Amino acid sequence: MSEIKYEAALAEIQSIVSKMENDELDVDQMSVQLKRAQELIKFCKEKLTKTDEEIKKILAEK
C-alpha cells in the first residue's frame, strides 16, 4: 500500500461501509470495495500495533 495515513485509511473504510449500508454498490463494485476494505483494515491494525510497540519502547526507556 502506497504512502497512506492512518486517518485517510480509516475514512476510506468508513466510506465503503456507508456505501454498503446504503446499497450504493452493485455486485461487481462490492467485491472490489470489500477487498479494498480488507487491505485498509490490515494496514490500520499493523499501524496501531507498530505504534503501540514504539510507545512501549519509549516508556520502557524512562
**Residue type at 49?**
T
Q: Measure the CA–CA gap between 11 and 33, rounded to whole angstroms.
A: 14
Q: What is the 3-state secondary structure (H, E, C) of the chain?
A: CCCCCHHHHHHHHHHHHHHHHCCCCCHHHHHHHHHHHHHHHHHHHHHHHHHHHHHHHHHHHC
Write the pLDDT tens digit of every residue in 11-60: 999 999 999 999 999 999 999 999 999 999 999 999 999 999 999 999 99
Write down the pTM of the prediction: 0.82
Q: Measure the CA–CA gap between 10 and 58, rounded to whole angstroms.
A: 26
